[in-house]
């Protein structure tokens, strides 16, 4: 595993940062368009209780959040990716697009495996509630990542790894708040039981990631 990680994540300097500007500006453009198309969703982001009342375009809004999340994460780690496939992905933009596609694929596979595990274990959950909760916290995660990319490439900070670690910690905190809200506000009475919440976490989150990790090792 150390060899695999070392071959993928090796810090390399970036000569031109024009591509980063394109991604940051493009992300802002997508956010502005989303502000128009998903006005109710964006306006209700100030309070999650208000966001839960919005039923408009939650599916497309989720895709936009996941797309921005994937692109910004890929941009943040681009300098640490291997050059082994430069004959195909010979520009930073192409690398970012490739890694973004992989992240989106992981999202899709994780959701699919989570639903299969939930069905196999007889776990019931409110999909609409979960989608709205995920959208709310993903929107804030996108904001954190946009700022992190800006600081990473243009702030002049010498130590990049602490910035990456700090960003990761903030994202983990956001994820933790998402789980806490889900566990506290599920409509099903069974979801109030701590054992059920642990089973829910294992089936819908940990198990899919373990399966994906196992396939990655085999590959």
Indicate the pTM of the whole model. Answer: 0.77
Q: Are 124 and 188 in contact (CB under 8 A)?
A: yes
pLDDT score, position 29: 95
What's the whole-number mean pLDDT along residues 77-88? 72
pLDDT score, position 187: 59
pLDDT score, position 12: 44
Res 4 pLDDT > 70? no
What's the whole-number mean pLDDT along residues 59-73? 92
Q: Tens of pLDDT along 101-117? A: 888 888 887 777 667 76
pLDDT score, position 106: 80
Per-residue pLDDT band at 201 (split at 50, 70, 90): low
Res 216 pLDDT > 60? no
Res 160 pLDDT > 70? yes
Residue of 65, 61, 69 whose CA lies nearest to 39: 61
In order of 80, 98, 106, the CA distances from 213 in angstroms are: 20, 19, 10
What's the whole-number mean pLDDT along residues 194-207? 59
pLDDT score, position 193: 53
Sequence spans of domains, the chain: 2-218
- 35 half-sphere exposure, CB direction, 13 A CA radius: 6
Cα 88 to chain centroid, rounded = 25
Q: What is the mean pLDDT of the chain?
A: 77
What's the whole-number mean pLDDT along residues 82-96? 74
Per-residue pLDDT band at 5 (split at 50, 70, 90): very low
d(CA 55, CA 26): 27
């Amino acid at each position: 595993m150390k060899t695999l990680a070392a071959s993928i994540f090796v810090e390399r300097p970036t000569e031109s940062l024009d591509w980063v500007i394109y991604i940051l500006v493009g992300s802002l453009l997508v956010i502005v368009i989303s502000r128009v198309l998903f006005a109710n969703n964006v306006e209700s982001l100030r309070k999650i209780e208000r966001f839960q009342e919005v039923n408009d375009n939650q599916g497309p809004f989720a895709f936009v959040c996941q797309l921005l999340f994937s692109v910004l994460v890929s941009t943040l780690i681009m300098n640490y990716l291997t050059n082994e496939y430069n004959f195909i992905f010979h520009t930073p933009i192409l690398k970012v697009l490739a890694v973004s596609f992989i992240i989106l694929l992981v999202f899709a596979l994780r959701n699919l495996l989570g639903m299969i595990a939930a069905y196999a274990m007889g776990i019931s959950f409110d999909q609409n509630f979960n989608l709205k909760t995920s959208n709310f916290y993903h929107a804030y995660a996108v904001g954190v990542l946009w700022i992190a990319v800006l600081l990473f490439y243009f702030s002049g900070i010498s130590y990049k790894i602490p910035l990456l670690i700090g960003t990761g910690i903030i994202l983990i905190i956001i994820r933790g708040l998402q789980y806490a809200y889900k566990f506290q506000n599920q409509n099903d009475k069974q979801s109030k039981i701590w054992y059920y919440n642990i089973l829910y976490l294992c089936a819908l989150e940990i198990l899919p990631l373990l399966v994906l990790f196992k396939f990655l090792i085999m590959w």
